[in-house]
């Protein structure tokens, strides 16, 4: 993409002064329109280390209302960020609807660092992950504008010499950038490959000829105006399509639950002995995986009154509380609704060596949000692939991922509901919403079957836990977790 670019294009002061005021005014107007429309915007600036990126970024943000944007300078990851998946620190910084996030360097700069620090093939895997990430955000209504600021080899070398020994050295460019980009000939083909691998219709690259600051700033302003105008124009059509699309699909899906033998049970004496053994083993594995810096994510889904809470209590009974957290998932907050639905779950991902136990999870998108009509059909249908990509990312980054569906029949659920309603000590466990959900059993059953069918993958399979008998369900849950943790422990030694 760079071979046909003339980085030496210039714009004189007179030409800049003529064009810039109108573009700046228009960009400010478009920011307000995007805010009112609830359109979030991500702006990415990448380029050579000596390109003068800070000045170009500053010229871009000056026309904007500072209450509506944040600039995120991306440098080497902190210890906390290194302990989490590669995209974690970027996902937690994405803007809420109607706001703008400006990335002064981004996931691309860090992917190039990976290519140099590790293997180029590792960077290629990250570029595929990035492409999926950007597609997911674009599908959710995010406008993504990506600028690569390009200069030629001769100009790069000249500027590098000028920066060295200058008082502006550390202010203008970081040593990390200098080390990464100092070998122009080595980096150029990597950058070309990165741009080609991640140049998509929903998130195209704009190559900015950047040897002249005025020309570069003018092109960034003009391109931004065009992209925001197009994004706003297409937003209404996108919204209508999401409301109309795919609502009438009547396909049937093989039920993974059909194989569950809900009559299975174990005697109390056997349960107690096995439970004690498994709890001790989970505690041992928690310590082992902590030493090996392996994160663990455990997802509990299932019917109301299936025993998720009891299973989680037995799972955590012997664990070190410093190393795990139970995350109860309810309706999203106002701030969470203003972001992509996976945003709140990214924020709860465990650091390396720690464990997160989700009492319900991101699968609410294709269960309660689907059945209750809380999101358009096109959005929950799209979520299957987004969730699969998200979970593949977790596993490829080295996490243990366990997904448990706790299965009971209607009669068992009714009996447990009635027992809770009759016992003052358990009445807090039953709500009107539980009864309403029960009335929609058939709708939820279809949603569950499709969810299990579409998201039980080789890298993140579902385990169906027969839960009519609580003793059996607790033991099987612990056995499932132990197997996954043991496998991960062997693989990471």
Residues 130-151, buried b or exposed e (16+ Cβ, 10 A)?
bbbbbbbbbbbbbbbbbbbbbb
Query: What span, in angstroms and rounded, lies between the C-alpha atoms of 55 and 148?
Result: 14
Grade residue 226 by pLDDT with cuts at 50, 70 and 90: very high
Task: Determine the distance from the C-alpha atom of residue 233 to the mean position of all C-alpha atoms in its chain, rounded to a whole number.
Answer: 27
Q: What is the mean pLDDT of residues 261-273?
A: 97
Percent of the chain exceeding pLDDT 90 equals 79
pLDDT at 186 (0 to 100): 84
Which domain covers residue 194, as residue numbers? 13-244
pLDDT at 275 (0 to 100): 98
224 is written with which tokens? 């931004």
Give the domain CATH number at 384: 3.40.50.300
Q: Is the pLDDT of residue 163 over 80?
A: no
Q: Is 91 exposed, middle or buried (0-12, 13-18, 19+ CB in 10 A)?
A: buried
pLDDT at 113 (0 to 100): 81
Q: Is the pLDDT of residue 252 over 70?
A: no
Grade residue 124 by pLDDT with cuts at 50, 70 and 90: confident
Q: Is the pLDDT of residue 205 over 60?
A: yes
Q: What strands, in cross-sheet order, belong to the sheet with 69-73?
A: 69-73, 100-104, 41-47, 143-150, 205-209
In angstroms, what CA-CA distances link 243 with 235, 373, 386?
Answer: 12, 11, 19
Counted domains in the chain? 2
In a domain, 230, yes or no: yes
Task: Determine the distance from the C-alpha atom of residue 299 to the mean position of all C-alpha atoms in its chain, rounded to a whole number.
Answer: 16
Reported as a single tens digit per residue, the pLDDT across 272-293 is 999 999 999 999 999 999 999 9
Q: Is the pLDDT of residue 150 over 50?
A: yes
Same domain for 288 and 228, yes or no, is no
Reported as a single tens digit per residue, the pLDDT across 325-380 is 999 999 999 999 999 999 999 999 999 999 999 999 999 999 999 999 999 999 99
Same domain for 388 and 472, yes or no, is yes
Q: Which of 244, 271, 306 is the last residue of a domain?
A: 244
In a domain, 249, yes or no: no
Same domain for 453 and 416, yes or no, is yes
Q: Which of 176, 211, 244 is the last residue of a domain?
A: 244
pTM, full prediction: 0.89
Q: Is the pLDDT of residue 214 over 50?
A: yes
pLDDT at 245 (0 to 100): 44
Grade residue 1 by pLDDT with cuts at 50, 70 and 90: confident
pLDDT at 169 (0 to 100): 47
Same domain for 369 and 420, yes or no, is yes
In angstroms, what CA-CA distances link 264 with 88, 261, 269, 278, 470?
Answer: 41, 6, 16, 19, 10
Q: Is 104 helix (H, G, I), strand (E, B) or coil?
A: strand
In a domain, 106, yes or no: yes
Q: Is 278 helix (H, G, I), strand (E, B) or coil?
A: helix
Range in 7-11, 101-105, 182-186 the model is least confident about:
182-186
Same domain for 437 and 355, yes or no, is yes
């Amino acid at each position: 993409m760079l071979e046909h670019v003339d980085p030496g294009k210039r714009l004189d002061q007179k030409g800049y002064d003529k064009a810039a005021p109108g573009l700046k005014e228009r960009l400010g107007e478009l920011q307000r329109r995007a805010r009112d429309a609830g359109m979030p915007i991500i702006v990415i600036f990448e380029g050579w280390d000596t390109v003068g990126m800070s000045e170009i970024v500053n010229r871009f943000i000056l026309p904007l209302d500072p209450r509506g944007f944040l600039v995120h300078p991306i440098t080497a990851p902190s210890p906390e960020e290194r302990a989490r998946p590669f995209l974690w620190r970027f996902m937690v910084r994405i803007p809420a609807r109607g706001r703008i996030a400006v990335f002064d360097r981004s996931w691309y700069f860090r992917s190039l660092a990976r290519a140099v620090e590790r293997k180029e093939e590792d960077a290629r895997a990250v570029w595929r992950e990035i492409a999926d990430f950007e597609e997911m955000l674009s599908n959710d209504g995010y406008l993504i504008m990506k600028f690569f600021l390009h200069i030629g080899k001769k100009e790069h070398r000249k500027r590098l010499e000028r920066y060295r020994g200058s008082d502006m050295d550390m202010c203008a460019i970081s040593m990390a950038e200098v080390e990464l980009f100092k070998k122009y000939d080595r980096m150029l083909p990597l950058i070309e490959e990165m741009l080609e691998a991640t140049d998509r219709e929903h998130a195209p690259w704009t190559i900015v000829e950047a040897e002249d600051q005025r020309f570069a700033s003018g092109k960034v302003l003009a391109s931004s105006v065009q992209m925001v105008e197009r994004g706003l124009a297409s937003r209404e059509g996108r919204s209508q399509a999401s409301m109309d699309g795919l609502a009438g699909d009547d396909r049937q899906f093989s039920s993974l639950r059909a194989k569950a033998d809900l009559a299975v049970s174990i005697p109390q004496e056997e349960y107690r002995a096995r439970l004690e053994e498994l709890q001790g083993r989970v505690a041992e594995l928690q310590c082992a995986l902590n030493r090996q810096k392996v994160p663990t994510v455990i997802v509990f889904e299932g019917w109301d009154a299936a025993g998720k809470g009891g299973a989680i209590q037995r799972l955590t009974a012997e664990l070190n509380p410093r190393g795990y957290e139970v995350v109860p998932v309810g309706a999203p907050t106002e701030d969470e609704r203003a972001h992509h639905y996976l945003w709140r779950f990214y924020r709860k991902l465990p650091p390396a060596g720690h464990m997160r136990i989700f009492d319900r999870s991101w699968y609410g998108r294709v269960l309660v949000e689907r059945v209750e009509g809380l999101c358009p059909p096109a959005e929950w249908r799209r979520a299957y692939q987004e969730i699969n990509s998200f979970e593949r990312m977790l596993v490829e980054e080295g996490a243990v991922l366990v997904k448990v569906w706790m299965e009971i029949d209607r009669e068992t659920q009714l009996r447990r509901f009635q027992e809770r309603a009759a016992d003052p000590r358990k009445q807090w466990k039953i709500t009107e919403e539980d009864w309403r959900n029960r009335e929609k059993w058939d709708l939820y059953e279809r949603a569950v079957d499709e969810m299990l069918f579409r998201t039980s993958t080789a890298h993140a399979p579902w385990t169906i836990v027969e839960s009519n008998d609580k003793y059996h369900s607790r033991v099987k849950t612990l056995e499932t977790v132990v197997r996954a943790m043991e496998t991960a422990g062997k693989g990471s030694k």
